[in-house]
């Protein structure tokens, strides 16, 4: 990749500042736990996998500017840092998972001196990053087999390198297809209300030299009608046991368009995104976002005051409308996952 979403230098975590993209490419160095906390909260780094990796390095950074007289003192300090990091985006499941995994290293090595545990922690954080990179690569390699040469692919939101430590999930499929010499054109939905498609997906594909065209969300339909879309690939926030997919609002709209026009609709995710405890999409509560994201885009009001606004964070696409779910393990076409 031409850019690094995150990079650990040994002393600090260097993040590409995603709040400044796409017009300004600026890196932010986090050298304290508080820096990491602020960066995650302010969406300098976003995307579940990337947040997990950032939090793991945050736990390493927490060991840097203190002296620990015992391993139990180290554990106590890291438990405090971990609680603090977890509180910055409470619903980000990878964040809590990474913190707990790092704490597990301390708990499993309490017989060792603090210096040794700190080395193990750095190794663990690098392992989390490497696993994330490998996961992205596998999704790309597996998914790429579904993509035909000379394809135009529509994507929604950003499930790209900027959301992971590696080459992304949905966009991994595109990057690997491109690497293998396939001629790929991408249409990127702008993705209202927060424009992740316009701001992030367009930026990273442009960086990588992949042809990308920006459209408003309501323009995709006319492209489908004109036969200009050959496949859809999106990521997902959560997949239920029956294969229903919760993803950024507007994903279901794209699925309806794909179905109507006979275009394959693919979802690319790490296996860990599948929540076996939830039977179907009906079990997922739909979170409402801050209405001013709709009524005041970029801080400028576009609607009258006191207007009612409906702004769900995501929608649920039924499994029956999904051609295949691509994971880092296999391609899943219908049926109950893993059973």
Catalytic residues: 237
DSSP state of 66: -
Q: Which two three-digit tokens encode residue 257?
A: 């368009």
Phi and psi of 30, rounded to 5°?
-105, 115
Q: Which residues bind a second copy (CB under 8 A)?
A: 21-23, 187, 189-193, 195, 198-199, 202-203, 206, 211-223, 225, 249-250, 252-253, 256-257, 259-260, 286, 294-295, 297-298, 300-312, 315-316
Question: Which of 127, 219 has the CB closer to a second copy?
Answer: 219
Question: Which of 125, 257 has the CB closer to a second copy?
Answer: 257
Q: Give min distance, CB of 35 to a second copy, in A.
A: 27
**Residue 108 class from Cβ within 10 Å (0-12 exposed, 13-18 middle, 19+ buried)?**
exposed
Q: Give min distance, CB of 254 to a second copy, in A.
A: 8
**What radius of gyration do the chain's Cα atoms show?**
21
Task: Give the side-chain half-sphere CA count within 13 A for 268.
Answer: 35
Q: Give min distance, CB of 163 to a second copy, in A.
A: 17
Question: Which of 180, 261 has the CB closer to a second copy?
Answer: 261
Question: Which of 273, 317 has the CB closer to a second copy?
Answer: 317
H/E/C letters for each residue in 119-179?
HHHHHHHHHHHHHHHHHHHHHHHHHHCCCCCCEEEEECCCCCHHHCCCCCCHHHHHHHHHH
Q: Give min distance, CB of 186 to a second copy, in A.
A: 10
- Per the listing, tokens 């040469």 go with 149
């Amino acid at each position: 990749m031409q850019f690094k979403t995150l990079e650990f230098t040994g002393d600090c975590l260097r993040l590409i500042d995603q709040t400044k993209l796409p017009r300004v490419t600026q890196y932010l160095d986090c050298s304290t736990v508080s820096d990491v906390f602020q960066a995650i909260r302010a969406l300098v780094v976003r995307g579940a996998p990337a947040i997990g990796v950032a939090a793991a390095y945050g736990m390493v950074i927490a060991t840097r500017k203190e002296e620990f007289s015992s391993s139990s003192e180290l554990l106590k300090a890291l438990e405090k840092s971990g609680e603090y990091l977890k509180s910055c985006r409470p619903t980000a499941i990878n964040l809590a998972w990474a913190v707990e995994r790092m704490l597990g290293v301390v708990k499993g090595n309490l017989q060792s001196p603090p210096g040794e545990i700190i080395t193990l922690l750095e190794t663990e954080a690098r392992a989390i990053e490497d696993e994330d990179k490998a996961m992205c690569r596998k999704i790309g390699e597996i998914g790429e087999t579904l993509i035909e040469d000379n394809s135009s692919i529509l994507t929604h939101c950003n499930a790209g390198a900027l959301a992971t430590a590696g080459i992304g999930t949905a966009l991994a499929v595109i990057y690997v297809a491109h690497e293998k010499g396939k001629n790929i054109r991408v249409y990127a939905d702008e993705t209202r209300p927060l424009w992740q498609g316009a701001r992030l997906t367009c930026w990273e594909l442009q960086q990588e030299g992949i042809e990308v065209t920006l459209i408003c969300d309501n323009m995709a339909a006319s492209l489908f009608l004109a036969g200009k879309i050959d496949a859809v690939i999106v990521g997902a926030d959560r997949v239920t046991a029956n294969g229903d997919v919760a993803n950024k609002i507007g994903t279901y709209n794209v699925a309806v368009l794909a179905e109507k026009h006979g275009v394959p609709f693919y979802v690319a995710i790490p296996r860990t995104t599948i929540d076996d405890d939830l039977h179907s999409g009906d079990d997922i509560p739909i979170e409402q976002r801050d209405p001013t994201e709709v009524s005041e885009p970029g801080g400028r009001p576009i609607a009258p005051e006191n207007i009612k606004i409906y702004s769900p964070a995501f929608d649920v696409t039924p499994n029956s409308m999904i051609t295949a779910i691509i994971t880092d393990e296999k391609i899943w076409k219908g049926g109950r996952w893993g059973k």
